[in-house]
Amino acid sequence: MKKITLIVGIALAASLVTLAAEEKESTKAPLKGKSSATAEQHVIVTPADLKWVDAPPGLPPGAKMAVLEGDPTKKGNFTVRLQAPADYKVPPHTHPTAEHITVISGTMNFGAGEKFDEAAGKESPMGSYVIMPAGMKHYAWSSGEAIIQIHGMGPFEIKYVNPADDPRNAKR
Ligand SMILES: [Cu+2]
């Protein structure tokens, strides 16, 4: 719980290597992380650098997201963290690119297939690493509050197996 408290609710600091123009852009658009490291420059993101905002509308409401690297909506490497409240469920879905997941804190559960079935999922405690290949149908849920880190190649899109599960189709 200490770790979660440390990570939550703190601001994204400007990188030593980020250009001034880019800094302005990132304060306007919180869903943009630091640029990827280059041959000359490294990137360090500490928990205090993370800026948590509501997760994008493609995910069920209630989760927070922080971008660590890149821009998940654009082409290129990205790394984000997702903070899921207790009993958060992401119904069966696919992504056009592989999803690489590391459980940072708490416990998430992951299952494969087009039907949400807790009995068929695997409990994945802190430190677990999961790869969901591009196009593979899968689902997830949290046991208590959990933080996962997702990295992959953008653009990171989510397509629900059942369109009725897509929160973007829900009337708000
Ligand atoms: Cu997924």
Q: How far does Cα 43 stand from its chain's mean position?
A: 19
> What's the pLDDT score for residue 30?
55
DSSP character at residue 36: P
> What's the pLDDT score for residue 38?
72
> What's the pLDDT score for residue 25?
44
> What's the pLDDT score for residue 6?
40
* Residue 41 maps to a domain: no
Report, as ranges of residue numbers, the positions in the chain whose pLDDT lies below 50: 1-29
Tokens matching residue 149: 């880190």
**Gyration radius from the chain CA atoms:** 16
Q: CA geometry: angle at 53 spanning 96 and 18, to 5°?
A: 80
> What's the pLDDT score for residue 154?
96
- Domain of residue 103, CATH code: 2.60.120.10
* Residue 149 maps to a domain: yes
139 CA to middle of ligand 1, Å? 6
**All residues with CB under 5 Å from ion ligand 1:** 99
20 CA to middle of ligand 1, Å? 34
* Residue 19 maps to a domain: no
Cβ contact 123:109 at 8 Å: yes
* Residue 109 maps to a domain: yes
Q: Where do we find the tokens 């703190």?
A: 10
User: Cβ contacts of residue 168 below 8 Å, gap of 6+?
Assistant: 57, 58
168 CA to middle of ligand 1, Å? 16
* Residue 43 maps to a domain: no
Rounded to a whole number of angstroms, the distance between the first and last alpha carbons of the chain is: 32
* Residue 1 maps to a domain: no
> What's the pLDDT score for residue 152?
97
* Residue 162 maps to a domain: yes
> What's the pLDDT score for residue 143?
96
Q: 29-65 pLDDT, tens per residue?
A: 456 777 767 777 888 999 999 999 999 999 999 999 9
Residue 115 domain boundaries: 52-169
> What's the pLDDT score for residue 9?
39
147 CA to middle of ligand 1, Å? 14
How many domains are contained in the chain? Answer: 1
39 CA to middle of ligand 1, Å? 31
